[in-house]
Amino acid sequence: MNLHLGVIALLLFLAFVVGFFVRSLNINALRNRVLELEREKMQDHAEILQLQKKMSEKQERAVSAGSTPVVALKENGQPDGGKNRLASQ
């Protein structure tokens, strides 16, 4: 089989260009996904900060009213699964 050296070089160059193009598309897609996740993370952190601000405002109002602030860890009526029972019971 006789192949001209120029044909082999051309095929290698085309393979390189196609591979480079595919890889650059992949990198751009991944970069966009990272940016999207970072925006989502920033929105989540902003929401958490807003909730903390609301909670601190409620606690400040409760302290200024003279009562001790109480924050429920679970909603009323939820079963605790027996976690809060004494060992002797």
* pLDDT tens for each residue of 52-63: 999 999 888 877
pLDDT at residue 70, rounded to an integer: 65
pLDDT higher at 37 or 76: 37
- Nearest-CA neighbor of 56 among 69, 72, 40? 69
State both tokens at 34.
């990272």
pLDDT at residue 23, rounded to an integer: 98
pLDDT at residue 63, rounded to an integer: 78
By the 10 Å C-beta count (0-12 exposed, 13-18 middle, 19+ buried), 59 is classed as: middle
How far is Cα 21 from Cα 27, in angstroms, rounded to an integer?
A: 10
Q: Look up the pTM and report it.
A: 0.54
